[in-house]
Amino acid sequence: MLVLGGGIRGGVTVDAVISLLLEDLLDPSGRGLDAACLAGATQDMKGRVRGMPRYMGGGMAALTVLFVANGYTRRPKEKRVAQIEQWRTSPVSLQRDFVEFWEKMGTFTYWSRVEKAVH
């Protein structure tokens, strides 16, 4: 269950879903990301979705719920990565767009955090 308010109530928080999604997209082989930068990028991505035009933000939230609905967060990493690949190559453009958005913006926010940490 995705708890959109952010608290844990026998379910998974939005933060946890975003963090896992970024981890799988940015580091599919599991070599390891910087934990502080990942945490920062997770917050940044929440802000990105909130800042989207409303007619897009609602759709993005709905797609995220759909993406995690089949137990994504409980699966082992290799199966999560496989699910992402399935959406990436899906004939449904909305699914491909979903992966593209999280991968590109996730990459940008994560490396923004790395850049900030370096400086």
Q: Which amino acid is at 78?
A: E
Q: Judged by CB under 8 A, which of 52, 61, 73, 77 binds other proteins?
A: 52
* Interface with other proteins, residue 43, by CB under 8 A: no
Judge contact between 13 and 6, C-beta under 8 A: yes
Query: Considering the complex, what minimum distance in angstroms separates the CB of residue 104 from other proteins?
Result: 5
- Beta bridge pairs of residue 12: 2
* Interface with other proteins, residue 90, by CB under 8 A: no
**Among candidates 55, 83, 58, which has minimal Cα distance to 69?**
83
The gap between the terminal CA atoms of the chain, to the nearest Å, is: 39
Within 8 A by CB and 6+ apart from 89, the residues are: 96
**Among residues 75 and 88, whose Cβ is nearest to other proteins?**
88
Q: Judged by CB under 8 A, which of 5, 7, 10, 53 binds other proteins?
A: 53
* Interface with other proteins, residue 54, by CB under 8 A: yes
**Among residues 15 and 103, whose Cβ is nearest to other proteins?**
103
